[in-house]
Amino acid sequence: MITCIDSRLLYRAILCLLSVKVIDALLLISRIDCGGPIPGPAHRSITMNTAVALARLGGYDFGFLRDRFDYDYPQFAGQFSKAVTELKKFYELIVVGVRPLANMSKLVDAAWHTHVNHTPQYRQFCDAVNGGYIDHQPHSEATPVPAEAIGNFYTQYVGRFGQVPQVWLEDIPQNLVPAVMRGGVPAELTRMRWSGWPGRG
């Protein structure tokens, strides 16, 4: 680890930023031990390590999953791009420290399953963006995901990305959507089958 007085490294990081090489710049900055967070959104402080992880996530190419996704899930034909766009947002909430999290979308869960099934690539991805494995936990009576995962996902999604798209709502009984969007956890949802991240790793 080097110290903040290494002006050459700071200079290289600034040059990278000025040339829009954001990922390279963040990787350089992450090697500087300044002992504190860097500025982030008003609602949260993002550490340098988190900024690097977000940059890695932003640059990750999910395209290698397409063929297998289309083969395994013909019912979602033509929706791969939508699925991985929302899966990336789900991963982003994990990276910034939201835990536990529910995945109530069958489409997004299909993309997550496809990623998990590419075990070596998924493990490398998790190490790169999370520093450890992101567990995919089917929610059931025998293997529950904490109920607060539901409220966590919907309130934090709105806070970070804005309006929740229909893909995250279409598999929930429509009479329960208003309560979910307020951060509630209707008992009926806890009895449904869905997947999530229990917050380990």
Tokens representing 191 are: 């009895």
The mean pLDDT of 38-64, rounded to a whole number, is: 75
Compute the distance between CA of residue 106 and CA of residue 50 in angstroms, rounded to an integer: 28
121: enclosing H helix or E strand = helix 119-130
Place of tokens 């090697």: 31
pLDDT of residue 13: 52
| Mean pLDDT, range 61-71, rounded to an integer | 98
CA angle, residues 90, 62, 98, in degrees to nearest 5: 15
Determine the average pLDDT of the residues in 170-196.
Answer: 91
Nearest CA to 171 out of 112, 80, 105 is that of: 105
pLDDT band at 143 (very low <50, low <70, confident <90, very high): confident
Checking if the pLDDT of 61 tops 90, the result is: yes
Residue 30's pLDDT is: 44
For range 80-93, the mean pLDDT:
98
Q: Which amino acid is at 71?
A: Y
Query: Could you read off the pLDDT of 105-125 as tens digits, one per residue?
Result: 999 999 999 999 999 999 999
The predicted structure's pLDDT at residue 194 = 87
Alpha-carbon distance 138 to 193, whole Å? 7
Which tokens is 10 given? 């700071």
127, 89 Cβ separation under 8 angstroms: no
Q: Which two tokens stand for residue 178?
A: 């208003």
C-beta atoms surrounding 121 within 10 Å: 14
List the single range of 14-28, 77-91, 133-147 with lowest mean pLDDT: 14-28
Q: How far is it, in rounded angstroms, from Cα 9 to Cα 101?
A: 37
Give the C-alpha distances (Å, rounded to integers) separating 30 from 3, 94, 172.
11, 19, 41
pLDDT exceeds 70 at position 56 = yes
